[in-house]
Amino acid sequence: MMQFMLLFSRQGKLRLQKWYVAHPDKLKKKITRELITTVLARKPKMCSFLEWKDVKIVYKRYASLYFCCAMEQEDNELLTLELIHRYVELLDKYFGSVCELDIIFNFEKAYFILDELVLGGELQETSKKNVLKAIAAQDLLQEEETPQGFFDDHGLG
Amino acid sequence: MAYPMYEVDWSVLPPEQNRRFNPAFNIATIKQVVNEAIERVAPVSVRMPTPTRLRDLIRQIRAARTAAEERSVVNKECAYIRSTFREEDSVWRCRNIAKLLYIHMLGYPAHFGQLECLKLIASPRFTDKRVGYLGAMLLLDERQDVHLLITNCLKNDLNSNTQFVVGLALCTLGAIASPEMARDLASEVERLIKSPNAYIKKKAALCAFRIIRRVPDLMEMFLPATRSLLTEKNHGVLITGVTLITEMCENSPDTLNHFKKESGQREIVPNLVRILKNLILAGYSPEHDVSGVSDPFLQVKILRLLRILGKNDAEASEAMNDILAQVATNTETSKNVGNTILYETVLSIMDIKSESSLRVLAINILGRFLLNNDKNIRYVALNTLLRTVHVDTSAVQRHRTTILECLKDPDVSIRRRAMELSFALINGQNIRSMMKELLTFLERSDAEFKAHCSSAMVLAAERYAPSNKWHLDTLFRVLLKAGNYLRDDTVSSTLQIVSSAAPERQAYAAMRLWTSLERSAVSGDATEKQPLVQVAAWTIGEYGDLLVSEASNAISMVDEDGVDDFVRPTEEYVIDVYQKLLWSTQLSINTKEYLLLSLAKLSTRFTTQPSQDKIRVIIDTFGSHIHIELQQRGVELSQLYRKYAHLRPALLERMPAMDAPGGAAHDDADNDALSDVSPDHKPDHVNNDALLDLIIGSDSLTNGDVEHKPSQPPASNNNTSSNDILDLLSGLDLTPTAPASVMNNNVASPGLTAGLPASLAPGLTSAAPPASLLLDGLFAAPMQTPTMQDLPTVTALEKNGLRIVFGVQRGGDSVTLTMRAQSSSPSTLTDFLFQAAVPRTFQLDMMSPSGTVLPPQGEITQVLKITNPSRSALRLRIRVSYNVDGVPVLEQAEVNSFPPDLFN
């Protein structure tokens, strides 16, 4: 089971955090800080796995973003890499060649996609098509209940 | 509530990417129209200024150039968001929470949004719910009190008609379910598992998985619904079903059996095998294909469940043998995804009762992994081999060369695994070649490895050393290459091995170590190799005479490379090297203590006058050393050239062989200590009991222990003798298990620490305390002169050729007794131990004896200092134990014949 997933930039800025285990906020921050430092300190030629406390950290860098998952001892590290890749593919399909800025400005979308892929720390859907379909349908629901047109685009600010 | 201007930030990209942006609209016009509209329909919004949009806030925050600037933007926005929360502004709640979540991700506190999230969840709008649940997952965890409130919201939404609302509720429950929530909502989840809708079914199955994790008791209620999950076609339902069953099976053996025996229409193992077979054999399905492999996620999950089912179950293992072989041979391995499946297959093959051919196949897959270009695959291969090496050593041995190659991998994690695996593969046959590789590795490895690697090498060498010479050579190489990273106990265990080696080996050790010591002294890198210097100093100190003698020519110093680089040094050159090291400012005090004591020892090993003079000059110099320990040592040792010159040869004689392994486990410490007193355990206990009698039998007497407690329970008295003895060394903080060898070795040398169990070493990291106390005692005995015969003497014991006489010297309220044990017996008395006890009003201090071996016509002396403030007549009980021809003898006596006016 995945215990948590963090997305952070090369500068060490957190871009997304998803916790599947209950920790107090303080501990979450501490773990995040330590882990970001540890992962960023690793050289590119090092492998993507890291034994860290009682979890296995699996991380992979895509462009400027690090995707970092904490897995339990019994989990398959190589499969976790596939899971990260699947998530990136989904983001890419959804945003259309995704970049860090997309995730910064639309972080909630990134969360929604993750929630359709993983639930409670385990993979819930192995079909990319199904995930995107579910997201699109929910986006549509949102749009339907929101007045369209002129006000939309420019918001009310 | 039909405001025309809902928050619509959600799908809007930043303007630079906004494909729908239409420049024809002028912002000012828009604002005007908007404001008019607001005034018409939304009186709330008129009072409150319209909030910043999410993307504008993000932009503002990103534009902040300093942390302080960012903080001020965030604080301003937070203050504003709080105020809208107070105003119960439901129009902008959704937008405000979204902003708050961004602020939260930056690390600012956002707990004040928790209740607002619940309000959003309670809203009928999907947008509100979607953001509300997102906020709940981020801002709440199962510790929060608001859970009672969220449980009700969840219950409502789990019953919603919209599948996506149910989905959101399940997702949130799966992420933050507390045990209470799990109990309250389990029945809803169970109902949803049976839903015909696959979207809901899969989410409910994972929710159940989390609920069972939190509250294992709830497992039972999910069992019936779970059975049918494996008959589904939908991969989402299948994979979540397998996950749920895996969790149940891992959780309880009963459930495991339940699934094996009566899983609905079909048994579970053939069922899983069928699903897996379909995955492999079915043609290309674009929906689940990953680089040519059909749904690797599902395959891996099934393989893992098979592993649990087949463990310790021959029948189940038999049923999955074929499919495992099929997966192992048919999986495409050019991509990571294929290797992922192979990796899981190998784990399963190793865990179940698989056929031996299958096991070989699995190990060979790992062997191929080791050669893979992908470092991640090499890593998992090493990791898996490490897990299986104890089960199937011979199969892993075949890949030894590849594993050793991995010691040179550029990736540090791979090197670490390879190192651990290499140590696991060492055995009596390959120790030589393995150690050679590991020595190379040790030399090149990073600092973080050196400590661990060197201690593991020392252990392996100890376990599998083919010969004593090889063992010593290896230890010396490790000392040389690990440098200061070597653990402290390695020094003492090496000393112990040298000390118990045969004499020609000891000479060899001294010669080898001399070569290294000289080399590092000359090249100036001795500070990097202090453990080496310590071992070398000790060894040369003990066996220096062998190093410089002609006899050393007879010992072959040809090393493995066929080079003999040993040049016999002159005595003076050895002293010069010592001087150079002692003068170095970089060496630690501990190392210098070793060197200084070693130097003192050399004074009795070396014979030429110039070297003697040099030694004396160096020792005298330390009398004014800036470090107090070394200064004290310097002063004490130089006393051995002056007042107490007659004691020097005896004090500095060679250490007896240390039998006990230096790094002995703590439990053994006691036995080691006892066996140092006498090789045989039995007499020792007799001794202790006798001593016990001595103490307890006479209430008015104490055993010389100032703090003796008469009520001490007998059980703990086993150590009394060492306690007493240790009181001689008062000031030493030793536990009762301290080896009595401290007392027996009248020679103070670094070897004392080596003989101690590692656990005691901290209190005795240097040999300084015994040495200094010994000499302190000598100095404290006032006016002791060699002409003891002139003083009144008292004969205490005369039996079996052993005569014990006290020389008495008055000194006010104290008296100094010099015990002289003289033997007229034809045999040598070994392990001679003299103990004394006085009434409690007296205080007894015993100095160390001059020796423990009493040759025929020989003599042992020991000084006792008795203080008696009450000045009453002295009574003394003594006990003498020794071995004669291997037979332990114990004598006791009470001495009352002291002159009554002893204290005046």
Domain residue spans of chain A? 2-154
Span B375-403, pLDDT tens digits: 899 999 998 898 888 877 888 888 889 89
Band of pLDDT at residue B568, cut at 50, 70 and 90: confident
pLDDT digits (tens, 9 = 90+) for B592-605: 999 999 998 888 88
Please state, in angstroms and as integers, the Cα–Cα distance from residue B19 to each residue in A84, B16, B22, B525, B564, following that order.
29, 8, 9, 68, 81
**In this structure, are residues A93 and A33 in contact, taking their beta carbons and an 8 Å threshold?**
no
Crossing angle (nearest 10°) for helices B93-105 and B54-63:
30
Distance CA B54, CA B56 (A): 5
Q: Taking the alpha carbons of B651, B529, B457, B430 in that order, is the dihedral positive or negative? A: negative
At residue B820, the 3 state secondary structure works out as strand
What is the pLDDT at residue B306? Answer: 94
Strand partners, B830: B883
Both structure tokens of B439: 């020595």
Q: Is the pLDDT of residue B285 over 50?
A: yes
Distance from CA of A113 to the nearest CA of B (A): 12
The pLDDT, as a whole number, for residue B40 is 54
Indicate if the pLDDT at residue B719 is higher than 50. no
Q: What angle do CA B114, B115, B121 make, to 5 degrees?
A: 95
Chain A: closest CA distance from residue B228 (Å): 17
> pLDDT higher for B698 or B842?
B842
**Reported confidence tier of residue B309, pLDDT bands at 50, 70, 90:** very high
> B399 with B370: CB under 8 angstroms?
yes
Q: Give yes or no for a contact between B504 and B464, defined as CB atoms under 8 angstroms apart.
A: no
- Please, which residues 170-199 of chain B have a Cβ atom closer than 8 Å to chain A? 170-171, 174-176, 178, 199
**B97 Cβ contact list (under 8 Å, min separation 6):** B113, B116, B117, B120, B131, B132, B135
Whether chain A has a CB inside 8 Å of the CB on B285: the answer is no
Give pLDDT tens digits for B628-669: 888 988 898 888 888 888 888 888 888 888 765 544 333 333
Over range A81-89, report the average pLDDT: 96
Q: Which of residues 237-276 of B touch A (CB under 8 A)?
A: 239-240, 243
For B827-869, write each residue's pLDDT tens digit: 888 888 888 888 878 888 888 888 888 887 788 888 888 888 7
Taking the C-alpha atoms of residue B79 and residue B68, their distance in angstroms, rounded to an integer, is 16
How many angstroms away from the CA of B740 is the closest CA of chain A?
43
- How near does any CA of chain B get to the CA of A153, in Å? 7
Q: Do A78 and B340 touch (CB under 8 A)?
A: yes
Least Cα separation, residue B145 to chain A (angstroms): 13
Asked if residue B532 has pLDDT above 60, the reply is yes
SS3 B502: coil
| CB pair distance less than 8 Å for A119 and B27 | no
Packing angle, helices B336-351 and B296-310, rounded to 10: 10
Nearest of B434, B526, B597, B500 to residue B513 by alpha carbon? B526
Beta bridge partners of B837: B877
Q: Which of residues 54-73 of A touch B (CB under 8 A)?
A: none
Q: Distance between CA B346 and CA B396 in Å, rounded?
A: 13
Measured between beta carbons, the chain B residues lying within 8 angstroms of A69 are: none
The three-state secondary structure class of A137 is helix
Q: In terms of DSSP H, where are the helices of B162-295?
A: 163-176, 179-193, 198-214, 219-227, 235-251, 253-261, 268-281
Look at residue A44 in the predicted model and tell me its pLDDT.
Answer: 84
Query: How does the average pLDDT of chain A come out, rounded?
Result: 90
One-letter amino acid of B507: A
| H or E element in which residue B434 lies | helix B431-444
Q: Chain-centre distance of CA B333, in angstroms?
A: 38
Q: What is the chain A residue with the closest CA to B126?
A: A142
| Interface contact A115-B171, CB threshold 8 A | yes
For the stretch A87-140, pLDDT in tens is 999 999 999 999 999 999 999 999 999 999 999 999 999 999 999 999 999 999
Q: Show residues of chain A in contact with B295, CB under 8 Å.
A: 126
Per-residue CA distances from B89 to B51, B80, B402, B775, B790 (Å): 11, 12, 67, 87, 109
Q: Which of A119, A128, A129, A150 to mutate to test the interface with B (most CBs of B within 10 A)?
A: A119
Q: Which residues, in sequence order, are CB contacts of B757 under 8 Å at separation 6+? A: B660, B662, B663, B664, B665, B666, B668, B669, B672, B737, B739
Contact status of B724 with chain A (Cβ, < 8 Å): no
Given pLDDT bands bounded at 50, 70 and 90, which one contains residue B33? low
CA nearest to A63, candidates A99, A24, A19, A112: A99
Helix (H, G, I), strand (E, B) or coil at B839: strand
- Whether pLDDT at B87 is above 60: yes
How far apart (Å, rounded) are the C-alpha atoms in residues B293 and B297?
10
Q: Of B541, B495, B542, B536, which is closest to residue B758 (Cα–Cα)?
A: B495
Find, in chain B, the residue whose alpha carbon is nearest to that of A151: B5
pLDDT of residue B27: 56
| DSSP state at residue B854 | B
SS3 (DSSP) at B889: strand
Q: Does B125 touch chain A (CB under 8 A)?
A: yes
Burial of B687 (0-12, 13-18, 19+ CB in 10 A): buried
Provide the pLDDT for residue B722: 41
Q: Judged by CB atoms within 8 Å, which residues 11-40 of A form the interface with B?
A: 14-20, 22-25, 29
User: Residue B529: which pLDDT band, with cuts at 50, 70 and 90?
Assistant: confident
Beta strands in B711-869 (DSSP E): 793-799, 802-811, 814-823, 829-839, 843-846, 859-867
Residues of chain B with pLDDT > 70, as a percent, come to 78
pLDDT > 80? residue B10:
no
Cα separation, B56 vs B60, in Å, equals 6
Question: Does residue B15 surpass a pLDDT of 50?
Answer: no
Token pair belonging to B768: 């300084």
Write down the residue that tokens 């462009």 correspond to: A63
Element (H, E) at B299: helix B296-310
pLDDT at B702: 39
Q: What is the mean pLDDT of residues B576-600?
A: 89
Q: How many CA atoms lie within 13 A of B837 on its CB side?
A: 28
H/E run at residue B470: helix B468-482
In 3D space, the residue among A33, A25, A43 whose CA is nearest the CA of residue A8 turns out to be: A33
- Let me know: does B521 contact B477? Beta carbons within 8 Å: no
Q: In this predicted structure, what is the pLDDT of residue B111?
A: 87
For B789, half-sphere exposure in the C-beta direction (CA atoms, 13 angstrom radius) is 0
Q: What share of chain B has pLDDT > 90, as a percent? A: 25
B226/B15: higher pLDDT: B226
Of B118, B165, B131, give the one whose Cα is nearest residue B11.
Answer: B131
- Quick one: pLDDT at residue B167? 96
Class of domain A2-154 (CATH, top level)? alpha beta
CA-nearest residue to A32 within chain B is B107
Query: Mean pLDDT throughout B676-702?
Result: 40
Pairing of strands B843-846, B829-839: unpaired
The answer to whether A78 contacts B162, with C-beta atoms less than 8 Å apart, is no
Confidence of residue B178 (pLDDT cuts 50, 70, 90): confident
Question: E-assigned strands of B824-875?
Answer: 829-839, 843-846, 859-867
Output DSSP code: residue B882.
E
- DSSP string spanning B30-65? HHHHHHHHHHHH-HHHHHSPPPPPHHHHHHHHHH--
3-state DSSP assignment of residue B226: helix
CA distance B1 to B271: 54
Give the pLDDT confidence score for residue B850 in this predicted structure. 82
> What is the chain A residue with the closest CA to B110?
A25
User: Cβ of A41 under 8 Å from any chain B Cβ?
Assistant: no
Chain A partners within 8 Å of B300 (Cβ): 76, 79
pLDDT at B811 (0 to 100): 74
Residue B14 above 80 pLDDT? Answer: no
Task: Name which of B526, B510, B547, B495 is nearest B591 in CA terms.
Answer: B526
Mean per-residue pLDDT over chain B, rounded: 78
- Distances from the Cα of B57 to the Cα of B83, B255, B597, angstroms: 17, 53, 73
Nearest to B414 among A47, A146, A151 (CB): A47
Partner A contacted by B297 (CB < 8 A): yes
Q: Is the pLDDT of residue B447 over 90?
A: no
Judged by a CB distance cut-off of 8 A, whether residue A139 touches chain B is: yes
Inform me whether the pLDDT recorded for B328 exceeds 70. yes
The pLDDT of residue B492 is 86
Q: Burial of A132 by CB count in 10 Å (0-12 exposed, 13-18 middle, 19+ buried)? A: middle
pLDDT at B531 over 50: yes
CB contact under 8 A, B175 and A74: no
For an interface test with A, the pick among B108, B127, B157 (most A C-beta atoms closer than 10 Å) comes out as B127
Q: How far apart are CA B355 and CA B358, in angstroms?
A: 5
**pLDDT number for residue B11:** 40
Which helix (H) or strand (E) segment holds residue B879: the answer is strand B876-884
- Write b or e for each residue in B220-249: b if 16 or more Cβ atoms lie within 10 A of its Cβ, otherwise e: eebeebbbbbbebebbbbbbbbbbbbbbbb
Distances (CA, A) of B556 to B478, B497, B508: 21, 20, 8
